[in-house]
Amino acid sequence: MVFERNKGRVGLSKWYVCVKCNKKRKTTRVLHAHHIFSWNKFESKRYDSKNGVVLCIKCHNGFHRKYKYEALDKPDLLVEYLNGDKAVKTYIKENK
């Protein structure tokens, strides 16, 4: 579901797009869905299709290397990593 939202919103219905580096792909093979609110800490948001962004493998691993376990409790770190992504910022604000 996260991938389909990304494809329609960012990829103009043709591409899946990493929201960090804008890498475009026709398949999801090298892309990951990343939860805005952690899968482990926010059980009620696990299956919310809006609780996710698409990142390429390099950007996804880069996020977790940079923020490690601190990111589990602080979804705002994703906004920082994505340079103030408005959609993510709005989702966090509406769901705190």
Of 29, 30, 48, nearest to 38 (Cα)?
48
Q: What is the mean pLDDT of residues 19-30?
A: 89
Indicate the pLDDT class of residue 14, thresholds 50, 70 and 90. Answer: confident
Going by pLDDT thresholds of 50, 70 and 90, the confidence category of residue 38 is very high
User: What are the residues facing 31 on neighbouring strands?
Assistant: 56
Of 48-52, 75-79, 81-85, least confident by mean pLDDT is: 48-52
Q: What is the pTM of this model?
A: 0.85
pLDDT surpasses 90 at 83: yes
Structure tokens at 49: 């299709």
- The CA angle 45-79-53, to the nearest 5 degrees, is 50
Q: Report the alpha-carbon distance of residue 62 to residue 58 in Å, rounded.
A: 6
What token pair was written down for 26? 């026709």
Give, as one character, the DSSP assignment of residue 15: -
